[in-house]
Structure 1
Amino acid sequence: MAVKVGDTAPDFTLVSQSGATVSLGDFRGKKSVVLYFYPKDDTPGCTKESCEFRDRYDVFTTAGAEVIGVSADSPESHQKFAAKYQLPFTLLSDTGNQVRKLYGVPSTLGLLPGRVTYVIDTEGVVQHIFNSQFNFKGHIEESLKTLQAA
């Protein structure tokens, strides 16, 4: 079952690029969360998307949101990726794709892990979902529109 707008976002705990454990529930009652699932660290599309989130990060934080990226890469891979591109936000390691499955993130052509962004409000409710493998900027623009309209 895929998560839909209006659903309570399923809680999870994963390891970040710093080795810390991060739970979605840590943000409930405090901040909105822009949770973006992406295929792989340091690939052209994922780098473009992550750098777009980086370049607009101050706008997200001003809107009261935290940006969190999730892929199946290891915490070490995330650490290198974040350092190389100076990513100021958390990257979580979903090595077994359990969280990807929990959210029902589809694959592209059955092979490539999907690229889906969820905007989750402070109460943990999904307010918007953007699913596009190739419209990298759309993930940022749609998320900001949703946050700024709240």
Structure 2
Amino acid sequence: MKVGDKIPEFTLLDQDGKAFSSLSLIGKKNFVLFFYPQDSLPICIREACAFRDAYYDFVENNFEVFGVSSDSREVHKRFKKSYSLPYRLLSDEKAAVRELLQVPSMLFGLLPGRVTFVVDKEGVIRKIFNSAFSASSHVKEAIATIRG
């Protein structure tokens, strides 16, 4: 995947077992998908909380935010509640969407990668940001993109 590509069609379940389809937002709303390795890792917690703390900026600019990892819906539900996350967490347990969007692994393939996609309401990818160890940079890059 690269900037300018259309986001492919996919469906994942969120922490409550509700289906999310990438096509459901096309023509309606911009969105940010941030892929992260695991709910319980400290850097992942910092990233999720950074998106939480900036959530109003995204909503104010007509963007929805979705966190994606391979954790189960049950783990996501606890994580969302523990950190008061206002956005949906999507469970990609089989890494099918991670593979579809070509999110690379990190640490010699031991951990799933940390990549953020900013997608406009037409479904066009406007930004792809890949940084394994800088959680706050994902939010900063996404906000800079949505503000144009």
Give TM-score scaled by structure 1 length: 0.96
- The gaps in structure 1 that reach 5 residues or longer are none
User: How far is the alpha carbon of 1:30 from its aligned partner?
Assistant: 1.2
Deviation at 1:136, TM superposition (A): 0.7
Alignment-mate amino acid for residue 143 of structure 1: A
Aligned to 1:89: 87
Aligned to 1:138: 137
Match of 1:78 in 2: 76
Residue by residue over 1:68-103, the C-alpha shift from the partner in whole angstroms, topping out at 9 and shown as x without a partner, is 011000000000000000000010000100000000
Structure 2 residues not aligned, in runs of 5+: none
Distance in 2 of aligned mates of 1:17 and 1:139:
22
- RMSD over aligned Cα atoms: 0.6
Secondary structure of the residue aligned to 1:48 is helix
Rounded to whole Å, the distance in 2 between the matches of 1:67 and 1:91 is: 9
Aligned residues: 147
Give aligned-pair identity as a percent.
Answer: 50
Q: Which amino acid aligns with 1:39?
A: P
Output the TM-score relative to the length of structure 2. 0.98
1:61 aligned onto 2:21: no
Per-residue deviation, 1:42: 2.0
In the alignment, does 2:28 pair up with 1:30?
yes
